[in-house]
Homo-oligomer: A and B are copies of this chain.
Amino acid sequence: MSLGVGIIGCGLIGAKRAAALGTARLVACADLDAARATDLARRVPGAVAEPVDRLLTRADVDVVIVATTNESLAKVSVAALEAGKHVLVEKPAARTVAELDGIAQAAARAKRLVHVGFNHRYHPALQKARELVDAGSLGPMMFIRGRYGHGGRVGYDREWRADPARSGGGELIDQGVHLIDLSRWFLGDFVTVDGIAATFFWDMPVDDNAFLTLRSAGGQVAFLHVSCTEWKNLFSMEIYGRTGKIAIDGLGGSYGVERLTFYRMLPEMGPPETTAWEYPRGDGSWAIEWAEFLQDIHANREPSAGLPAARAALDVVGHVTARSGYHFP
């Protein structure tokens, strides 16, 4: 019998999740804004809108997707785990490491699984990169450069992301955690963290730019910049090994067509052999990510994008914002 799903937080991301449930069924959804929950429920036959506490007590809900704004991610996830549900919580999963640890404890007590929505791992270009790296096509890893950003919009500094009590931080905890997670996915844990978070443009108490230099135990470097003053939306990740390079550009939509270019060094060196793949068909990442979590649940297997990944990312965020003089709740 297919798994029942409850979605808490029915904004843009909640709706994307609802549209990518594959063999699972949306049973109930909840949102502080009841109209949004009702709208979403109406679009899925058999789904109902309910308050959070009622949703969590339903026996036909096996998995809860937590897609709220940041200040509720941890609290709702803990409640869902305590109600015996598996949880997919959107990144960053919590505002702080301390909050996140609460989720981990609840999961351990409840013996339930938690997948963190580091959705970018499931984009086709990143999946292809993973496959190339795993096949040894780059040789041993050397370093990664990442650039990720958008240009905000009029009034961006009045939105919830600009309020540290709700967001837990600025650009670094928003887009930054994706780049940190992707880098760690390829290079492993970081043992040295350096960086600057700064507020250059927006009139808000959180960072709008962060520059990171992270180093793994093996000396590999992730050199990352995230920005909400990027003016022209940009996603770029460049992965270097001893025998080749992968460049990923774009994420679809306003970030441009997603594309992976693979540069393979030849023994005689000189210009590398170059092959590129484009992914113009939009974003199947949500379905792939979800299918993996369903398999994890089925196999009772710890998700590869789980709480340790979120903890590693939040750890970097906390370090860099604190040393840059930000004191978020």
Contact = CB atoms under 8 A, between A and B. Distances in A.
A81 B313 CA distance: 55
Interface string A228-250: 01111000000010101100000
A2 interface: no
Copy number in this complex? Answer: 4
Interface in A204-235: 209, 211, 213, 215, 219, 221, 223, 225, 227, 229-232
A127 to B, nearest CB: 15
Interface residues of A, number: 49
B242 A201 contact: yes
B211 A232 contact: no
Interface stretch (A115-123, A272-280, A290-298): A272-280
B225 A196 contact: no
Contact of A270 (B200, B265, B281): B281
Contacts of A145: 147, 225
Interface string A60-100: 00000000000000000000000000000000000000000
A106 B143 CA distance: 42
Contacts of A182: none
B276 A271 contact: no
Contacts of A231: 240, 244-245, 263, 265, 272
Given A223-B223, A266-B281, 8 more contacts: A143-B211, A151-B265, A153-B270, A198-B219, A229-B242, A231-B263, A271-B281, A275-B277
